[in-house]
Amino acid sequence: MTTGDLYDLLGLAHRATPDEIKAAYRNAARRFHPDVNPHPSATEEFKLIANAYVILSDPAQRTAYDTALQKAGSGPLVSIHWIPSRKTLPVQLEPQVFYTLVNITASLGGETELPAPPVNLCVVIDRSTSMQGARLDQVKTAVSQVIDSLRDNDSFSVVAYSDKAEVIVPAQQGLAERTLAKAKISTINAGGGTEILQGLMRGLVELQKRLSPSAVNHLILLTDGQTYGDEDDCILLATLAATDGIIITGLGIGDEWNDRFLDELTACTGGTAAYVNSPEQVKTFLWNKVRGLGSTYAERLTLYITPDVEVKLISAFKMGQEVGQVPVDGTSLRLGSLPKQQGVSVLLKFLLPPLSAEGERSIARLALYADVVSLGRRGERTTVDIILPGLADAPRLPPPTAIVEALSKLSQYNMQERAWQEATAGDIASATKRLSTLGTRLLSSGQTDLAKAALAEARRLEKTQSLSEEAKKNLKYGTRALLLASQPKDIQK
């Protein structure tokens, strides 16, 4: 399903003159402007038209768009390639595990210049007492920097929360009043508890004001503490936000926050959570994140996986610029956004039933939906079938390097997860043993620092019989970071 390009939105031919574009925009605006037309879908339509007009009325952006459109031709705008863990499936009477690494890339990546999509961003800042000092100061500086980097068609808002939330900078476009916004941010003071629900709710309301299906709608949640009792409501709210096309990124500062909760909250929108242990890192994180949003190729990547009869999808893990477990209990996987330059990968694990005969064995159909915001195309669909030949004497070939690399790191990540679960359940002996095994695995894969951390924590755990939150987060996000896409090749050279 393709909803057409920007010209279709304005009812124009591709050769329209600037005057025709202007006239068509005026005409469309008269039909759909929310002040004129009260129908709820009119507002949405108008936002699409307005965004299309921004690109088509600017000669430079229009040229870039036209070139990209030409290159795209009628082919899919988003490509899927999958790498299987084995090329043939052995015929056998017991179930077997099968992995596949699904790489999603922009068909028009690389040199093609694309218009930058408008960004609708809300930053939600924790201002609880524990943020006092360096943490809040760094966050404030970082947010002010973000304001300076915004472009004219971006929308921006800031919410601060403790046990109640307050809109510091209401959603605004164009940011004519950057100085005022920055002045307001500098007045944020620390004080109070941490109730994430409050902040999340106000933040989402601000985002809704400027919500557009052709924009990157994103909420960044900063926190340094635990929220109590409102976790389930937060998740529910995030799920609703996801259906509106909002992605949430979480940033935990220090060691006190609840990593499991923040992972879950962000994962259900297709976003991820990150960890910084020193306030100075907030700036880099925010800066990179916001820059990434501005170079988005496609938003709201949703992968529908339909396994064949008796095939079970066991787990999914997202890799690339962002890394995290993707919940597989629903019908679809939310994978967040696709950057222009770098693909998104997801490692899928399937359990296959016994294979009784040779021949083609279909495992699952993958259908990817994405809004290619950089080209104003929504609901782009790409489909692939995962099919492998079954053979009675399937050769035992070593699995492809890409899968081995991903899985060896993922198995290290999973080991530390199991260790924490065991430690939390009171099984200190198992947790200690697992951490020291993990240490040796990390050592043999060359991760000396993480290995030391794992071994030190194993010793500490044995002595004190209790977990250290700092070590836990270090190892969790450390082993997870190993799964981040490696630096582009030219940097290594």
Partner 1 sequence: MITCPACRHQEYEGELFCSECGARLWDSGIELPPTVTFNSRQLTDLPKTANPAAAITNLNTGQIALMVVGVPQPMVLEGRVEYYLGREVEAGQPPDVNLTPYGAREKGVSRRHASLRVDRRQLLLMDLGSSNGTQLNGSPLVANEPVRLESGDEIRLGKLSIRVYFNL
By CB under 8 A, what part of segment 85-144 binds partner 1?
A: 85-86, 90, 92, 94-99
In angstroms, rounded to a whole number, what is the distance separating the alpha carbons of residues 294 and 123? Answer: 15
Q: What is the CA 298 to chain-centroid distance, rounded?
A: 11
Listing DSSP states for 360-372 in one string gives: EEEEEEEEEEEEE
Q: DSSP character for 159?
A: E
What's the closest the beta carbon of residue 445 comes to partner 1, in angstroms? Answer: 9
The residue among 67 and 92 lying less far from partner 1, judged by its C-beta, is: 92
Q: How many CA atoms lie within 13 A of 18 on its CB side?
A: 9
The count of residues interacting with partner 1 (CB under 8 A) is: 32
Among 226, 362, 408, 486, binds partner 1 (CB under 8 A): 408
The residue among 102 and 407 lying less far from partner 1, judged by its C-beta, is: 407
Q: Any contact of residue 423 with partner 1 (CB under 8 A)?
A: no
Q: Any contact of residue 278 with partner 1 (CB under 8 A)?
A: no
Binding part of the chain for partner 1, among 16-24, 257-265, 395-403, 420-428 by CB under 8 A, reads 395-403
Neighbours of 157 (CB within 10 A): 24
In angstroms, rounded to a whole number, what is the distance separating the alpha carbons of residues 446 and 266? Answer: 31
By CB under 8 A, what part of segment 438-457 binds partner 1?
A: 438, 440-441, 443-444, 446
In angstroms, rounded to a whole number, what is the distance separating the alpha carbons of residues 335 and 345? Answer: 9
Q: Any contact of residue 395 with partner 1 (CB under 8 A)?
A: no
What's the closest the beta carbon of residue 387 comes to partner 1, in angstroms? Answer: 16
- Say if CB 298 and CB 370 are below 8 A apart: yes
Cβ burial 68-103 (10 Å sphere, 16+ → b, else e): bbeebeeebbbbbebbbbbebbebeeeeeebbbbbb
The residue among 23 and 443 lying less far from partner 1, judged by its C-beta, is: 443
What's the closest the beta carbon of residue 351 comes to partner 1, in angstroms? Answer: 7
In angstroms, rounded to a whole number, what is the distance separating the alpha carbons of residues 88 and 387? Answer: 10
What's the closest the beta carbon of residue 421 comes to partner 1, in angstroms? Answer: 13
For the purposes of burial, counting CB atoms within 10 Å of the CB of 360, is it exposed (0-12), middle (13-18) or buried (19 or more)? Answer: exposed
What's the closest the beta carbon of residue 343 comes to partner 1, in angstroms? Answer: 22
Contacts of 343 (CB under 8 A, 6+ apart): 103, 104, 105, 106, 109, 320
Q: Any contact of residue 436 with partner 1 (CB under 8 A)?
A: yes
What's the closest the beta carbon of residue 436 comes to partner 1, in angstroms? Answer: 7
What's the closest the beta carbon of residue 95 comes to partner 1, in angstroms? Answer: 6
Site string for partner 1, 49-88 (x = CB under 8 A): ------------------------------------xx--
3-state secondary structure of 99: strand
Q: For binding to partner 1 (CB under 8 A), which residues are involved?
A: 85-86, 90, 92, 94-99, 351-352, 396, 398-399, 403-404, 407-408, 411-412, 414-415, 434, 436-438, 440-441, 443-444, 446
